[in-house]
Chains A and B, each alone.
Chain A
């Protein structure tokens, strides 16, 4: 299923990918469908947390999951609005393999008037690196909230 409003969503994902911190980490858009977004974090020196092993820092994975989880909410919206992360819980299943990109697939599995519930998995090939569960607060543009 396609995203609900492609005209709104396309400039929006570009806006997310242009955010200074997404650019510095090199996060890229892969694709989207209704409720789901996939982003990619290419391997680079800038995101290494352990210089002995070359393993990517958890913070870069956190940013990838947070960004994908926030973006996937917009695949379900007719109009743009503000969403803010309330909380995010990440389980680090295994270290990422150095030299390989990490893909994150995030899904908004429940959308209420005020809250969006998301879940995400970050993986390399078939190897799952991390799971993330988040909640986001919705604020309609012009609602004054």
Chain B
């Protein structure tokens, strides 16, 4: 996929509020089955449960790496939407705290931009399942912009 195609895919998603084609265009997002949508101008991120995201078959629980990868994407798309920057933000560091195991349920994610400078952004992330008051993981990360 060329830069122009990817840019068009993003612009079409922003204009229509339909992010399915964008998620399909990103192989890793497709692999974990991530869904992005927009309600009243607010971005929503969901990771519907699927068996291939399991990282502990005994509990069972989602793989910690999936939760991290999902939150990384939540940050990337929140930053892209907030700045409408040209290029995809690049992760510099990512620190995640696992607060409870991710059960075999849908997972939701939110990104708060703590500080956005010209070159770098600091973000705070949270992931939860059926109860937003009981987060599964929280994370903070830095991204290079543009």
Contacts and interface: CB of A to CB of B under 8 A. Distances in A.
Interface of A: 19-25, 45-52, 56-60, 62-67, 84-92, 95
Given A20-B53, A66-B64, A84 B98 contact: yes
Contact of A60 (B28, B57, B92): B28
Contacts of A92: 90-94
B53 to A, nearest CB: 5
A52 B88 CA distance: 10
A26 to B, nearest CB: 10
A6 to B, nearest CB: 22
16 contacts: A21-B52, A48-B27, A49-B26, A52-B3, A58-B68, A59-B66, A62-B64, A62-B72, A63-B63, A63-B64, A66-B68, A67-B55, A85-B98, A86-B97, A87-B95, A91-B92
A94 B18 CA distance: 32
A99 B17 CA distance: 33
A48 B55 contact: no
B60 to A, nearest CB: 9
Contacts of A59: 28, 32, 65-66, 68-70, 72-73
B16 interface: no
Contacts, number: 129
Nearest to B34: A59
Interface of B: 1-3, 6, 25-28, 30-32, 51-57, 62-66, 68-70, 72-73, 88, 90-98, 101
Q: Which of B68, B70, B90, B97 has most A Cβ within 10 Å? A: B68
Contacts of B92: 91-92
Given A19-B56, A60-B28, 6 more contacts: A20-B53, A51-B26, A52-B2, A56-B28, A63-B55, A91-B92
A58 B57 contact: no
A84 B96 CA distance: 13
Contact of B25 (A46, A51, A57, A67): A51
B54 A19 contact: yes
B101 A46 contact: no
Contacts of B52: 20-21, 23-24
Contacts of B72: 57-59, 62
B98 A86 contact: yes
B65 A46 contact: no
